[in-house]
Amino acid sequence: MTAPLLARIDRVALTYGRTRALDGISLDIAAGGMAGLIGPDGVGKSSLLSLIAGARVIQQGRVEVLGGNMADGGHRRRVCPRIAYMPQGLGKNLYPTLSVFENIDFFGRLFGLNRRQRSRRIAGLLASTDLARFADRPAGKLSGGMKQKLSLCCALIHDPDLLILDEPTTGVDPLSRRQFWELIDRLRAERAGMSVLVATAYMEEAARFDWLVAMDAGRVLATGTPAELLRQTGSATLDDAFIRLLPEAKRNGHRAVVIPPRPADDDGEIAIEADHLTMRFGDFTAVDDVSFRIARGEIFGFLGSNGCGKTTTMKMLTGLLPASEGTARLFGKTVDAGDMEVRRRVGYMSQAFSLYGELTVEQNLDLHARLFGLAPATIPDRIAAMAERFGLREAMDAMPDALPLGMRQRLSLAVAMIHAPEILILDEPTSGVDPVARDGFWRILADLSRRDGVTIFVSTHFMNEAERCDRISLMHAGRVLISDTPAAIVEKRAAASLDDAFVACLQDAVDEAAVPASVAEAIPATPVETAPPRAAGGSFFELRRMLAYARLESLELRRDPIRLTLALVGSVILMFVIGYGTNLDVENLSFAVLDRDDTSVSRDYALRIAGSRYFIEKPPIASYDELDRRLRNGELSLAIEIPPGFGRDVARGRGVEIGAWIDGALPSRAETVRGYVQGMHAQWLAEKARTLHGRAAADDFQLIARFRYNPTVASLVAMVPAVIPLLLMMIPAMLTALSIVREKELGSIINFYVTPVTRTEFLLGKQVPYVVLAMLNFVLLTAFAVFVFQVPFTGSLPTFAAAGLLYVVVTTSMGLVVSSFMTSQIAAIFGTALLTLIPAVQYSGMIDPVSSLQGAGAVIGRIYPATHFMTIARGTFSKALDFHDLQGSFMPLLIAIPVLLALGNLLLRKQET
């Protein structure tokens, strides 16, 4: 190797749980060329690329890229502006609600380009990828090929020295695939010296690379130029070469797939018939007037890019989706959506087929057998037969995730076949499966079709598989472009290969659909202007990068009006409902009297209670049993028993006892009742004493209770200042809690891993829009409280606003901390609900003052931010206080901010582990 070294990989190993993804790989990759990693899915290509890109933590071994060790954070920060990484999966690193322009612009900001540089460079990139017409379209609404081109634009915005592409063309139609590689070639020609590292499962693409690494099972099989590999193995195609490179054991039993011609005694029965099928979702036509007929036992292939309508067509055929127009027939019977009988005759294997990872192979087969209603007695035999036929016998107790992909696909097929359906519908069953396993799979399909007469409807991306079908259809944008036998299609288009024939068909369709587009295409591809000198990647904090994330987050938030409305309107409604509904002035308590005396004195006593505003008298009690029963069923909060001879005893001055039973099931209510009853009893006594001793009717003294700060004891006035902190805790925390974990679950977190953005920039950037939203919420709540609910605001508004700002910074930080270490959105939602709802309602002094709490709850209450903001809110709302009086409550909030930020920084990982 004479060229300078791009990367040196030395004895690198990587394991996920028990799976060994990379098994001690050593490799030198030269700079300046286009190097390809070839091999099926799951052999370690993606893992290796993510290590080279610095996206994943290196477990074992040494990875040197661009002259430094990638395990060193300093080096990663320095070189990441020179690397561009496009992860696997269509548009996985894109933000679906952002437009094409905004997506590229975001990456430009992350890499520190200023506005002028960005707009010039984006214009150049859009022109050269022919995306300029779609600059305003949301990324989520692009076709697969366009998504990949957009991803490429995003990767190229900062003019990298190393471009890493992980399966960039998987799931893309043949035409877009071809265009994509032409684009890469053009870019390389314009920018000599850029190294490109590609992983692919399509061997025909690999033929155009400069240098190849064939990988299998976490190991390198061979390296060399395509020509070298062919020569070495003595094969004509890379597919064959790869198979020959495989170890003996894997190759064992491999032979070319031969599909016997369909038997001549074909009865011509039509198994599947689509008759002018059309499917519309709103104003979008997913499937447009599709017709075809498939005979029994035929293998019918379906080609087309992701999102072209294949899956929708398949769903209509199985009766899952009722067609907007047209009819689907199976064996001459019109498909009725929701007809269980149809489902029993059809086996379906979906694209990303979800075998249940939590069930073993046998349990998976068993579950499906039961769901399809096989007689329980026949199930074990059936499972054994399927295991035999699909070669799953040794794997019956294994978990599907632990199986190699090829075996998993066979299991999927076995599951789809468990109920012996007459029709098999297979949605891309072999994507990502290695050539040997793929051939094995097709032999089974051939067998099913020719021997058992099963009709097979299969979609695929592989041309060599398409060639094996009896007939194929090419679908594009909801329409079938061509449908015939493979040979006839090649002949009709006078093409050299099936691939060329399809590309020609697609080209026609595209030209026809987009006449004005030709104007744009007529413009010669503008050379992409080179990026300005790179901003140093080493700085720890750069405002522009933080603002890039802030802008991204606020754009996403703005595009989700439902969430915004819920946050703003919902909180106002909640404030009203809770403020209005929570009333601690206990009233309308029901009570009844067991009056065994029934004299004027006893009635006078009862009347005193009944006359107060707190109690409502219920029908009198007749017996102890009744007393017990009515207390037990919760009808009474208080029962008074007046003993026989009460009036007489009082008059004679003999000792007498009145019994009062309080329902203690609700202790706080019981306590209030006790206080009321005791007070009334004391007053009655004093009054009685006066009348007995013939004194004036006036009380001896009066106790005037003044409820300060809220003289009318209005519930809204008392509760609103407590509800605002509650709402500003829960809603902002819940908003931020999902912001990071969602990126983790959906994949765009990769942009954080491989761009120069630091943890602090990322966290603060994510936080800023939510702080703004929460402050908006704060203003709205305060305004509603004061102007609509008429809660008097007596203190210092600036103090309250300043505290509000600090508080929402704290609460959004709490959500971010949760988000930084959780791995699933469910756990984040649950964790946030636990972390906010319970302490805010119970430990923050909303009902019980924090000073009266005990144990761990008291500790939580004292440090919990809501406690302190509640003090400030009540002080400024009701007590006419200002900053001077409340400074003590500001301190805990001020301390919480750096603590939470540091915690978030600590828990957030800058690389995938």
Q: What residues from 813 to 832 belong to the interface with another protein (CB under 8 A)?
A: 822-827, 829-832
- Work out which of 2, 252, 354, 623 binds another protein, going by CB under 8 A: 354
Q: What CA–CA distances, in Å, run from 511 to 475, 517, 521, 804?
A: 16, 8, 11, 58
Q: Considering the rule CB under 8 A, would residue 683 count as an interface residue with another protein?
A: yes
Q: How far is the CB of 190 from another protein (least distance, A)?
A: 39
First to last CA, the chain: 33
Binding mask 837-856 for another protein (x = CB under 8 A): xx--xxx--xxxx-xxxxxx
What tokens were used for 190?
């314009």
Which of 352, 494, 496, 522 touches another protein by CB under 8 A? 352
Q: Which of 857, 863, 903, 909 binds another protein (CB under 8 A)?
A: 857
Q: Which of 4, 253, 659, 798 binds another protein (CB under 8 A)?
A: 659
Which residue's CB is nearer to another protein, number 487 or number 858? 858
- Give me the amino acid identity at 331: F
Minimum distance from residue 555 beta carbon to another protein (Å) = 14
Min dist. Cβ of residue 136 to another protein (A)? 22
The C-alpha torsion from 810 through 811 and 812 to 814, rounded to 10°, is: 90
Q: Cβ of 459: how many Cβ atoms within 10 Å?
A: 26
Rounded distance between C-alpha atoms, residue 449 and residue 257, angstroms: 14
Query: Which residue, 179 or 412, is less far from another protein as judged by CB?
Result: 412
Position 669: which residue type? Answer: R
Residue 475 one-letter amino acid: M
Residue from the set 20, 885, 897, 903 that interacts with another protein by CB under 8 A: 885
**Residues 192-251, interacting with another protein (CB under 8 A):** none
Q: What is the nearest approach in angstroms of another protein to the Cβ of residue 379?
A: 11
- What's the min distance (Å) between Cβ of 114 and another protein? 32
Binding residues for another protein restricted to 524-583, rule: CB under 8 A: 560, 562-563, 566-567, 570-571, 573-574, 577-578, 580-583
Residues 53-92 binding another protein (CB under 8 A) are none
Taking the least distance from each CB to another protein, the nearer of 181 and 821 is: 821
- Going residue by residue from 736 to 765, which x/- string records binding to another protein, judged by CB under 8 A? -xxx--x--xx-------------------
Task: Give me the residues paired with residue 483 across strands.
Answer: 473
Q: Which of 205, 663, 743, 761 binds another protein (CB under 8 A)?
A: 663
| Angstrom distance (rounded) from CA 454 to CA 426 | 12
Least spacing, CB of residue 782 vs another protein, in Å: 17
Looking only at residues 173 through 202 of this chain, which bind another protein when binding is defined by CB under 8 A? Answer: none
C-beta neighbour count of 7 within 10 angstroms: 22
Confirm if 433 and 250 have CB atoms less than 8 A apart: no
Is there a contact between 832 and 818 (Cβ–Cβ < 8 Å)? yes
Residue from 58, 127, 398, 658 in contact with another protein (CB under 8 A): 658
Least distance from another protein to the Cβ atom of residue 89, Å? 13
Q: Which amino acid is at 489?
A: I
Q: Which residue, 184 or 741, has its beta carbon nearer to another protein?
A: 741
Question: For the CA atoms of the chain, what is the radius of gyration?
Answer: 37
Report the C-alpha gap between 200 and 286 in whole angstroms.
29
Residue 860 makes contact with another protein by CB under 8 A: yes
Q: How far is the CB of 140 from another protein (least distance, A)?
A: 12
Minimum CB distance to another protein smaller for 511 or for 585: 585
713: contact with another protein by CB under 8 A: yes
Cα 870 to Cα 884: distance, rounded to the nearest angstrom: 16
DSSP 8-class letter at 784: I
Count of chain residues binding another protein (CB under 8 A): 161
Round to whole Å and give the CA distance between 482 and 491: 13
C-beta of 213: minimal distance to another protein in Å? Answer: 32
The set of residues, in sequence order, having a beta carbon less than 8 Å from that of 768 and lying 6+ positions away, is 546, 547, 550, 553, 554
359 sits near another protein (criterion: CB under 8 A): yes
CB burial string 701-719: b at 16+ within 10 A, e below:
eeeeeeeeebeeebbbbbb
Quote the least distance from Cβ 62 to another protein, whole Å: 32
Complex with another protein: residue 501 or 738, whichever CB lies closer: 738
Find the binder of another protein among 692, 797, 899, 906 (CB under 8 A). Answer: 692
At residue 380, the 3 state secondary structure works out as helix
Does the footprint of another protein cover residue 356 (CB under 8 A)? Answer: yes
Q: How far is the CB of 351 from another protein (least distance, A)?
A: 8
Site of tokens 């890019």: 305
Contact in structure between 396 and 362 (CB atoms under 8 Å) = yes
Q: Which is nearer to another protein, 692 or 894 (CB)?
A: 692
Cβ distance 469 to 455 under 8 Å? no
CB of 285 to another protein, least distance (A): 17
- The phi and psi torsions of 400 (rounded to 5 degrees) equal -55, -35
By beta-carbon proximity to another protein, the closer residue of 9 and 328 is 328
586 near another protein (CB under 8 A): yes
Please pick, from the candidates 656, 780, 805, 863, the single residue that binds another protein as defined by CB under 8 A: 656
Residue 744 in contact with residue 68, Cβ under 8 Å?
no
* Closest CB 872 distance from another protein, rounded Å: 11
Site for another protein in 362-391 (CB under 8 A): 367-368, 370-373
Question: Is the Cβ of residue 13 or residue 398 nearer to another protein in the bound state?
Answer: 398
| Nearer residue to another protein within complex by CB, 124 or 347 | 347
Residues 104, 112: Cα–Cα separation, whole Å: 13
Instruction: Give the nearer residue to another protein in terms of CB position, either 195 or 878.
Output: 878
Q: How far is the CB of 504 from another protein (least distance, A)?
A: 33
- Comparing CB distances to another protein, the nearer of 420 and 488 is 420
Q: Where does 129-246 have alpha helices with state H?
A: 144-156, 174-190, 203-206, 226-233, 238-245
Q: CB 226 → another protein: shortest distance, Å?
A: 36
Which residues lie closer than 8 Å to 828 by C-beta, 6 or more apart? 737, 738, 741, 818, 819, 822
- Rounded-to-integer distance, Cα 139 and Cα 159, Å: 22
DSSP character at residue 788: I
Contact (CB, 8 A) for 98 and 49: no
C-alpha of 382 from chain center: 38
DSSP 645: T
Nearest-angstrom CA–CA distance, 841 and 627:
35
- The CB-of-593 to another protein minimum distance in angstroms stands at 14
Least Å distance between CB 859 and another protein?
Answer: 9
Among 669, 760, 780, 897, binds another protein (CB under 8 A): 669
Of 796, 803, 804, the C-alpha closest to 779 is 804
User: What gap in Å lies between CA 896 and CA 814, rounded to an integer?
Assistant: 10
The two tokens of residue 610 are 């009944």
What are 332's two structure tokens? 């001459």
Can you tell me the distance from the alpha carbon of 483 to that of 306, in angstroms, rounded to the nearest whole number?
A: 18
Binder of another protein out of 398, 446, 510, 666 (CB under 8 A): 666
Site for another protein in 309-328 (CB under 8 A): 318, 320-321
Q: Identify which of residues 501 and 808 has a Cβ nearer to another protein in the complex.
A: 808
265-284 residues near another protein, rule: CB under 8 A: none
Is 871 a residue that touches another protein (CB under 8 A)?
A: yes
Q: Which stretch binds another protein (CB under 8 A): 297-305, 495-503, 530-538, 712-720?
A: 712-720
* Residues between 619 and 648 that touch another protein (CB under 8 A): 629, 631-634, 637
* Sole binder of another protein in the list 834, 891, 894, 895 (CB under 8 A): 834
